[in-house]
Amino acid sequence: LEAKEEFSHKTLAMDVMRPRRNDPPLTVITQDSMTVEDVEAIINETTYSGYPVVVSRESQRLVGFVLRRDLIISIENARKKQDGIVSTSIIYFTDHSPPLPPSSPSMLKLRSILDLSPFTVTDQTPMEIVVDIFRKLGLRQCLVTHNGKLLGIITKKDVLKHIAQLANQDPDSILFN
């Protein structure tokens, strides 16, 4: 058995979310400042099922969540079928996109593939509640915020691992699950 404090402290969303303390930061996409090649690089360098979209890196304000597979399909389609979409085209997830100078490449509007209300909890939410929400709402992932800023993500698999860990530490908990 682990130290007693494992039992006296409740596990919170911040203890289960990724990234962990020394991990690289969350991979996010900004709503109006990344190019097609920036986003393709993210798709190629990571295997996550989805990416939070934020107002800007500095603000870390959450705008929505975009699935990796929807991004791949939309960019592939746009490159094939939409005139003027090149590596340096800016991707917009915003409602309105600014008028571009005549010489700049066409922009790629992807607001339609954005989930504008992904489920979020604060970092202080007890995991018991998070587990309950995942079960009842059938969530695939949930974003974690602190003071309105995006902090991390918890996937269904993260929740399942957390439950498995609890069961190992505390055999009685199996009876309740």
Interior angle at CA 20, CA 145 and CA 171, nearest 5: 100
Give backbone dihedrals phi and psi of 82, rounded to 5 degrees, phi first: -105, 125
Stretch in the footprint of ligand ADP (CB under 6 A) among 43-51, 77-85, 108-116, 124-132: 43-51
Residue 114 contacts ligand ADP per CB under 6 A? no
Residue 49 contacts ligand ADP per CB under 6 A? yes
- Considering beta carbons, is residue 51 or 93 the nearer one to ligand ADP? 51
Residue 39 contacts ligand ADP per CB under 6 A? no
CB-CB contact of 155 with 140 (8 Å)? yes
CA distances (Å), 114 to each of 20, 118, 162, in order?
Answer: 26, 9, 28
d(CA 153, CA 147) in angstroms, rounded, equals 15
Residue from 27, 35, 106, 165 touching ligand ADP (CB under 6 A): that is 27
- Considering beta carbons, is residue 29 or 90 the nearer one to ligand ADP? 29
- Considering beta carbons, is residue 24 or 99 the nearer one to ligand ADP? 24
Query: Dihedral sign, CA of 170, 171, 173, 174?
Result: positive
- Considering beta carbons, is residue 108 or 150 the nearer one to ligand ADP? 150
Residue from 13, 26, 78, 130 touching ligand ADP (CB under 6 A): that is 26
Give backbone dihedrals phi and psi of 96, rounded to 5 degrees, phi first: -120, 140
> Using CB under 6 A as the criterion, which residues of the chain lie in contact with ligand ADP when the complex forms?
18-19, 26-27, 47-49, 51, 153, 155, 157-158
